[in-house]
Amino acid sequence: MLTQELLDEFKSLKERHDAVVLAHYYVDADAQDLADFVGDSYFLAQKAATLDCKTLVFAGVEFMAESAKLLSPNKRVLMPEPTADCPMAHMLRKETIDAAREEYGDDLAVACYVNSTNEMKAWSDVCVTSSNAQHIVERLPQHNVLFVPDLHLGHYIQQQVPSKHIILNDGFCPTHEAIEVREVQALTEQYPEAVVCAHPECASWVLDHAHYIGSTSGIIERCVQGSEDTYVICTVHGVLHEIEKRVKEAGDADRKRFLFPATTPICPNMARVTGQKVVACLRDFSGEVFVDERYADGAKRALERMLELAK
């Protein structure tokens, strides 16, 4: 709970340190409410590269804060919860990339989902997010694309861009992969009029039941702008805070209903990022982010190519 005393301290600390707070839609509601900008990975990467401030507080997981530091090397970047990590960010072996490059040579591009370590990004040719992966893969000059580390997003892009030969890795998001078809079906049987909105990090057998497949921000927009009354949401529960805020502003709060699978999709790492921790890291400059210089140039190059190709 954010007390008025804490809010007053936060305002003072932000001004003193010339700080801007970025938050992902998956973190705690209080952390989202403190943020200057709330968004998905692509939106936040864009903001990190362009903001004019001395300090960035990144309410998210480690790979996001590392990307912000790469794109804004002259800013101090702070993580409210330094232990918040993304398991999928580590699900790639260098041998997988080496083997693909050996087999396909110059006609291979390695497209790396931003949910990855800087080391993985440095091994790659371009980064992508769920909101721009299809567009970027279509624009790559190479026919063969090794999509890493997420198997499920890669499989979805494989279906959307059949003109490319897309090679898949075996990484995954534990929270999205844990969403079960039977729980989605139970909701659609109870509410047959419901619109199922799913993130492409979900397994294909869940996506097969979706009426809308899109990024975190895309799902939010579909739920807010849609004319339907009932929505089944197959992504991390943290998006509900933003959806409810926008629906209330639109005057639809009493009409619309938002449902999640019975086993509520909660990212345990994102959930550790709270409003109190956002204030605390500004208070004592804890959780400062540094990048390994061995991978900085390569990772930054992949991120910057993403920002260029995504235009």
Confidence of residue 79 (pLDDT cuts 50, 70, 90): very high
Residue 279, pLDDT above cutoff 90: yes
Instruction: Give the angle 22-27-29 at the CA atoms, nearest 5°.
Output: 95
Q: Which domains does the chain have, with CATH numbers?
A: 4-85+271-291 (3.40.50.10800), 88-173+294-309 (3.40.50.10800), 179-264 (3.40.50.10800)
pLDDT at position 35? 98
pLDDT at position 121? 98
Residue 201, pLDDT above cutoff 80: yes
Residue 23, pLDDT above cutoff 80: yes
Share of residues in the chain with pLDDT > 90 (%): 97
The mean pLDDT value for 118-135 works out to 97
pLDDT at position 235? 98
Residue 196, pLDDT above cutoff 80: yes
3-class SS letters over the chain: CCCHHHHHHHHHHHHHHCEEEEEECCCCHHHHHHCCEEECHHHHHHHHHHCCCCEEEEECCHHHHHHHHHHCCCCEEECCCCCCCCHHHHCCCHHHHHHHHHHHHHHEEEEEECCCCHHHHHHCCEEECCCCHHHHHHHCCCCEEEEECEHHHHHHHHHHCCCCEEEECCECCHHHHCCCHHHHHHHHHHCCCCEEEECCCCCHHHHCCCCEECCHHHHHHHHHHCCCCEEEEECCCCHHHHHHHHHHHCCCCCCCEEECCCCCCCCCCHHHCCHHHHHHHHHHCCCECCCCHHHHHHHHHHHHHHHHHCC
Confidence of residue 190 (pLDDT cuts 50, 70, 90): very high
Burial of 77 (0-12, 13-18, 19+ CB in 10 A): buried
pLDDT at position 45? 86
Share of residues in the chain with pLDDT > 70 (%): 100
CB 201 within 8 Å of CB 121: no
pLDDT at position 57? 97
pLDDT at position 188? 98
pLDDT at position 8? 96
Confidence of residue 41 (pLDDT cuts 50, 70, 90): confident
The mean pLDDT value for 208-221 works out to 97
pLDDT at position 1? 75
Confidence of residue 49 (pLDDT cuts 50, 70, 90): confident
pLDDT at position 184? 98
Residue 163, pLDDT above cutoff 80: yes
| Average pLDDT in the chain | 97
The mean pLDDT value for 240-251 works out to 97
Residue 229, pLDDT above cutoff 80: yes
